[in-house]
Amino acid sequence: MQKINPRILLAIVLIPMGLIIAMVPEDTAVNRKVATGQILQEISSGSQFVSPDEVARLIIEGNPALQLIDVRSSSEFDNFSLPGAVNIPLTDIMSPGWRDILDQDVKINVFYSNGAVHANEALLLTRQQGYINNYVLQGGLNYWMEAIVNPDPPSNLSPDEEFARYDFRRAVNSALGGESAGRTTEAPPPPPMPSIRPRERTPVVTGGC
């Protein structure tokens, strides 16, 4: 199975962003607290993405700081979801009833959908309101299935780090109830994944023209 190039993933996200911004309702746009240009700059840097490996590690560790937020429909959520995820459909993302979950500085929210576009739209809407600590699962569930559930085994010439990553992913899949098919030879521990740090609060823009 061919792996998805992260640059291609970023391009897939950035291209629809202009359309997403154009479709934001006017009454929502009026209340923006963070400039759209600033949000697009953040998105173009890719800093909103959390890798499937990092999310998998946090799930296995039972890290209480992680809060997965599934922005798909309730029917899709009921059919399959990641462990511990909360279902907040994209159409309800700005509902006042979800504000305590989305606007806080304790937990790290990771939006996900089948791909990355709808999750990035959720990020865009919440960032416009000045919400922090919201991120996006890189590649969404499609990439999760490719990287974690059905990872391609490395070749015999691959470095130890690739074998370690493969074993880690197979172990995660087994721990989450999937089929385990790890190598019989011992591999070094998986390489440490980059840690997620809570975002610094962005000064709220007040006033207007």
Please write the tens of the pLDDT for every residue from 122-147.
Answer: 998 998 888 988 999 999 999 999 99
Other CB atoms within 10 A of residue 120 CB: 24
* pLDDT reported for residue 200: 59
Query: pLDDT band at residue 158, thresholds of 50, 70 and 90?
Result: confident
Residue 143 near residue 102, CB atoms below 8 Å:
no
Mean pLDDT value across residues 106-116: 94
Residue 19 pLDDT greater than 80, yes or no? no
Mean pLDDT value across residues 67-89: 95
Same domain, 39 and 134: yes
Q: Please tell me the least confidently modeled range out of 27-41, 47-61, 115-129.
A: 27-41
Name which residue leads in pLDDT, 18 or 169: 169
Residue 14 pLDDT greater than 70, yes or no? no
* pLDDT reported for residue 28: 46
Same domain, 14 and 33: yes
Residue written as tokens 């709220």?
Answer: 204
Q: Is the pTM of this model over 0.75?
A: no
Q: Is 37 helix (H, G, I), strand (E, B) or coil?
A: helix
Query: pLDDT band at residue 157, thresholds of 50, 70 and 90?
Result: confident
Q: How many distinct structural domains can be found in the chain? A: 2
Name which residue leads in pLDDT, 102 or 196: 102
Please give the share of the chain, as a percent, with pLDDT higher than 70.
69
Residue 112 near residue 90, CB atoms below 8 Å:
no
Mean pLDDT value across residues 144-152: 90
Q: How many CA atoms does the CB half-sphere of 20 hold within 13 Å?
A: 22
Name which residue leads in pLDDT, 168 or 36: 168
Same domain, 119 and 19: yes
* pLDDT reported for residue 128: 86
Domain region containing 109:
6-144
Determine, yes or no, domain membership for 123: yes
Same domain, 74 and 162: no
* pLDDT reported for residue 182: 38
Same domain, 53 and 119: yes
Same domain, 113 and 166: no
Residue 189 pLDDT greater than 70, yes or no? no
Burial 34-51 (b: 16+ CB within 10 A, else e): bebeebbebbeeeebbbb
Residue 17 pLDDT greater than 80, yes or no? no
Final residue in a domain of this structure, among 144, 167, 202? 144
Same domain, 135 and 158: no
Same domain, 13 and 114: yes
Instruction: Tell me the one-letter amino acid at 171.
Output: A
Q: Is 68 helix (H, G, I), strand (E, B) or coil?
A: strand
Residue 58 pLDDT greater than 70, yes or no? yes
Burial 88-119 (b: 16+ CB within 10 A, else e): bbbeebbeeeeeeebeeeebbbbbbbbbbbbb
User: Which residues lie closer than 8 Å to 106 by C-beta, 6 or more apart?
Assistant: 65, 133
Quick one: which of 148, 194, 145 has its CA closest to 171? 148
Name which residue leads in pLDDT, 127 or 31: 127
